[in-house]
DNA sequence: CTGAAAGCGCTAACAG
DNA sequence: CTGTTAGCGCTTTCAG
């Protein structure tokens, strides 16, 4: 590997001179500049980023810790975060925890080791204390989508309760009385809030709450596939399902379609978060949705604010999701306000 | 930030001692070990990764450079690469180039600066020479899916020509004679090979090649949406389309569905790469497919081999994709061998 | 078994 | 305008 010293030797100058022509835009005589630049070119020198990080005390890198890289929701967040990073000339270290506490811990360990100057995280579980271990003063972070109430930090998320409430209310207005929910991990904030929104919508709609209609799933397609099967085997199956995320919607629809169950004729569906295939599904999907890209953008910007000034009070930003009506609920126009 | 020195001061020992109890599994008396570990715990010390990288001359990090984080194809590759990284106790730096040469260059610049010990890359364009700039001896890399013939390095990819040929042959066997293609970026290896496979299948099937049936798209859904529209406006529109990737399939189907064009009754579709919604689409998709996760796995393993021994000859690994028949081509059983 | 000292590649304060 | 020097936090000889 060619170093600054090699360049210095080649042109017969000191390392500091070389470093300066590299870092100060108008340094040295035309002559030296040209000579140095030429040597750098010839030798193929590139500054060692690690050494630079070391001396500058910052890495120019931020990390994004997410529970599932394969989920388009997080991937869109990543795009948002990345774009902001680029504007700030930062790099993005993407860490996929796979909903696994151990993996998350291992990444957090690296982060504590100053791998990055700050990070954005969507925690695996709200109950897990590992986030506490990292010193916010040293490495600021913002939580996204999933909040961890045991820790004080900025948070950017969705108004999950409202979203779920809105979705279920839509079902009720369409005349449904037997409404089930396939809900996500209950050790996460969105998992809890979306279930809560479902319950409150039923309550306000004076509908009874039926335990067997509440399926505790884990945000995965497989869990939703099984839940759908169980739901339909019930003595009085539901006529509608509110599904807590995009992946579970896929799982649910896979079951329905492979068993020739029609949507919305046999059963109605509302999904939290809109998959990109919403329109070309066998029954175009009605969804509650929010721009994940924008969330990522907001979170990253908040982080960069923190990076330059840690003193302002903690912020909590909630985006309001909107309902897009397609066919999967059996749109009854006169019922919609 | 608390450093080794702080720990040393606290227990009244030298930094080297602390470093040793940390790095050598059986060092020092029980007493000192316990004392040191306790101090580390109390102070909340974590080794500075940057300093470690510096002295060890390696970062324990590899990068994955991909053109689109939002494409599940690359995301599955990422999962594969990541899992192998984890086994080797490496971290994964994910770089999204967004099909943009400038972004790719900026990431490559960082990589040249020794941000990682090696990397896996799916290039933006085959014609671009920027990969040449990085010194393979210093930082080995393996190309994935997209090959750059101007550079000598390991490559893991799909047998794109075979896949396309197989897909189009399937269409021909189903009785189609007017077969169009929506093909991907022609400055990429898979873009070229898939088009080539299409052309050769037509040739071998004694079908004429119709220029207006060849749509030069760019792998994006939008480009395919427009291409589909144009195709259907032709005087004699095709009865079947071979589509060069998953995203373009989405775009194509979006057009068809929104214009009430039935699949396969009005037009047949085969897609290269299988989206996870293949089964729940309004017309379940027939696809040519390969495991992207596995590709990622293979590429990463190859990279780690290189990392420990750069001397063996360059490898080129091609995975053979398989056809999954659903409904979108109008399955005619007796015609399939 | 432990400490002092050198040095990884670079930047920046300090001299000349 | 340029060179010398001192570190950043850590590991690793080399002495004691």
Q: Please compute the mean of the pLDDT values over residues A324-330 and round it to a whole number.
A: 92
Degrees (nearest 5) of the Cα angle B70, A272, A289? Answer: 65
For B322, the 3-state DSSP assignment is: strand
Size of interface A-B (CB pairs under 8 A): 135
Q: What is the pLDDT of residues A268-279, one digit of tens each?
A: 999 999 999 999
Report all structural domains of chain B as residue ranges with CATH numbers, in order of start: 4-47 (1.10.260.40), 57-158+292-320 (3.40.50.2300), 160-290+323-335 (3.40.50.2300)
Partner-chain contact A110 B138, CB within 8 Å: no
Given this model, what pLDDT does residue B111 score?
92
| Residue at shortest CA–C1' distance from C5 | B16
For residues A81 and B276, what is the distance between their CA atoms, to the nearest angstrom?
A: 25
Q: How far is the CA of B16 from the C1' of C4 (A)?
A: 10
| Residue at shortest CA–C1' distance from D12 | B16
Nearest to A300 by CA among A64, A76, A77, A84: A84
* Cα–chain center distance at A232: 32
A116-130, B15-29, B267-281, B296-310: range with lowest mean pLDDT: B15-29
In this predicted structure, the answer to whether residue A337 has a pLDDT above a threshold of 50 is: no
Q: What is the pLDDT of residues A169-209, one digit of tens each?
A: 999 999 999 999 999 999 999 999 999 999 999 999 999 99
E strand residue ranges, A194-295: 214-216, 240-243, 268-272, 286-289
The pLDDT > 70 percentage for chain A reads 98
In this predicted structure, the answer to whether residue B27 has a pLDDT above a threshold of 90 is: no
* Tokens describing residue B247: 């995203």
The answer to whether the bond into B153 is cis (omega within 30° of 0) is: no
Partner-chain contact B279 A53, CB within 8 Å: no
The pLDDT > 90 percentage for chain B reads 84
Closest chain B C-alpha to A199 CA, distance in angstroms: 29
Instruction: Find the residue in B nearest to A87 (Cα).
Output: B103
In this predicted structure, the answer to whether residue A108 has a pLDDT above a threshold of 70 is: yes
Q: What is the pLDDT of residues A43-77, one digit of tens each?
A: 989 999 999 999 999 999 999 999 999 999 999 99
Partner-chain contact B114 A50, CB within 8 Å: yes
For B120, the 3-state DSSP assignment is: strand
Q: What is the DSSP letter of B289?
A: E
How many helices (DSSP H) and strands (DSSP E) are in chain A? 11, 12
Closest CB to A135 among B44, B59, B133: B44
Cβ neighbours of A279 in B, within 8 Å: 254, 257-258
Nucleotides of chain D within 7 Å of a protein C-beta?
1-5, 7-13
Query: Cβ of residue B308 near strand C, that is under 7 Å?
Result: no
Nearest to A115 by CA among A46, A48, A54: A54
Interface test with chain B among A94, A129, A280, A327, by most B beta carbons within 10 Å: A280
User: For chain B, how many residues are written?
Assistant: 337
pLDDT band at B24 (very low <50, low <70, confident <90, very high): confident
pLDDT band at A316 (very low <50, low <70, confident <90, very high): very high
Contact yes or no for B50/A54 (Cβ under 8 A):
yes
* Strand B322-324 to B286-289 pairing: antiparallel
Q: Please compute the mean of the pLDDT values over residues A93-122 and round it to a whole number.
A: 92
Q: What is the pLDDT of residues B131-162, one digit of tens each?
A: 998 889 889 999 999 999 889 999 999 999 99
Q: Please compute the mean of the pLDDT values over residues A224-251 and round it to a whole number.
A: 97
Phi/psi class of residue A224: alpha, beta or left (left: φ > 0; alpha: ψ in -120 to 50)?
alpha
Partner-chain contact A96 B86, CB within 8 Å: no
Given this model, what pLDDT does residue B337 score?
46
Partner-chain contact B115 A91, CB within 8 Å: yes
Phi/psi class of residue A261: alpha, beta or left (left: φ > 0; alpha: ψ in -120 to 50)?
beta
Query: Cβ of residue B40 near strand D, that is under 7 Å?
Result: no
Query: Cβ of residue A19 near strand C, that is under 7 Å?
Result: yes
Q: How many Cβ atoms sit within 10 Å of the Cβ of residue A220?
A: 19
Q: What is the pLDDT of residues B154-183, one digit of tens each?
A: 999 999 999 999 999 999 999 999 999 999
Given this model, what pLDDT does residue B332 score?
58
For residues A68 and A76, what is the distance between their CA atoms, to the nearest angstrom?
A: 12
* Tokens describing residue B132: 């040449």
Closest chain B C-alpha to A115 CA, distance in angstroms: 6
User: For chain A, how many residues are written?
Assistant: 337
For residues A290 and A273, what is the distance between their CA atoms, to the nearest angstrom?
A: 7
Q: What is the pLDDT of residues B192-215, one digit of tens each?
A: 999 999 999 999 999 999 999 999
Contact yes or no for A21/A28 (Cβ under 8 A):
yes
Given this model, what pLDDT does residue A332 score?
58
Report the first-to-last Cα separation within chain B, whole angstroms: 68
Percent composition of chain A: helix, strand, coil (DSSP 3-state, to 5): 45, 15, 40
Helix axes B160-173, B189-204, angle to 10 degrees: 40
Given this model, what pLDDT does residue B331 score?
61
Partner-chain contact A72 B69, CB within 8 Å: no
For residues B284 and B277, what is the distance between their CA atoms, to the nearest angstrom?
A: 9
Residue labelled with tokens 């990431």: B107
For A154, the 3-state DSSP assignment is: strand
Residue labelled with tokens 């120019």: A60
For residue A149, how many C-alpha atoms fall within 13 Å in the half-sphere facing its CB? 6
In this predicted structure, the answer to whether residue A290 has a pLDDT above a threshold of 50 is: yes
Query: Cβ of residue B9 near strand C, that is under 7 Å?
Result: no
For B119, the 3-state DSSP assignment is: strand
Nucleotides of chain C within 7 Å of a protein C-beta?
1-5, 7-13
Nucleotide with the nearest C1' to A29 CA: D1
Nearest to A179 by CA among A227, A242, A222: A242
For residues A92 and A89, what is the distance between their CA atoms, to the nearest angstrom?
A: 10
């Amino acid at each position: 590997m060619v170093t600054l010293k090699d360049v210095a030797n080649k042109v017969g100058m000191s390392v500091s001179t070389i470093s300066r022509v590299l870092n100060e835009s108008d340094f040295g005589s035309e002559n030296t500049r040209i000579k140095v630049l030429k040597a750098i070119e010839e030798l193929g020198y590139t500054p060692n980023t690690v050494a630079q990080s070391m001396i500058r005390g910052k890495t120019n890198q931020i990390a994004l810790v997410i529970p599932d890289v394969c989920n388009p929701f997080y991937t869109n967040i990543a795009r948002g975060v990345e774009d902001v990073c680029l504007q700030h000339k930062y790099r993005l270290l993407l860490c996929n925890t796979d909903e696994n506490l151990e993996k998350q811990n291992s990444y957090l360990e690296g982060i504590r080791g100053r791998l990055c100057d700050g990070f954005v995280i969507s925690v695996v579980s709200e109950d897990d204390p590992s986030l506490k271990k990292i010193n916010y003063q040293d490495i600021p972070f913002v939580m996204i989508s999933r909040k961890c109430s045991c820790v004080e930090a900025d948070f950017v998320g969705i108004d999950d309760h409202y979203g779920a409430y809105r979705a279920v209310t839509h079902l009720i207005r369409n005349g449904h009385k037997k409404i089930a929910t396939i809900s996500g991990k209950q050790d996460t904030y969105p998992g809890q809030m979306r279930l809560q929104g479902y319950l409150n919508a039923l309550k306000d709609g004076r509908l009874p709450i039926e335990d067997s209609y509440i399926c505790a799933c884990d945000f995965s397609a497989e869990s939703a596939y099984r839940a759908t099967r169980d739901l339909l085997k019930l003595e009085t199956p539901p006529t509608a399902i509110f599904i807590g995320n995009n992946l579970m919607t896929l799982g649910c629809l896979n079951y329905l379609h492979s068993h020739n169950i029609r949507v919305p004729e046999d059963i109605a569906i509302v999904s939290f978060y809109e998959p990109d295939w919403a329109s070309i599904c066998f029954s175009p999907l009605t969804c509650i949705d929010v721009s994940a890209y924008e969330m990522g953008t907001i979170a990253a910007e908040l982080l960069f604010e923190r990076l330059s000034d840690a003193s302002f009070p903690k912020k909590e930003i909630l985006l309001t999701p909107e309902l897009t009506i397609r066919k999967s609920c059996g749109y009854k126009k006169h019922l919609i306000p």
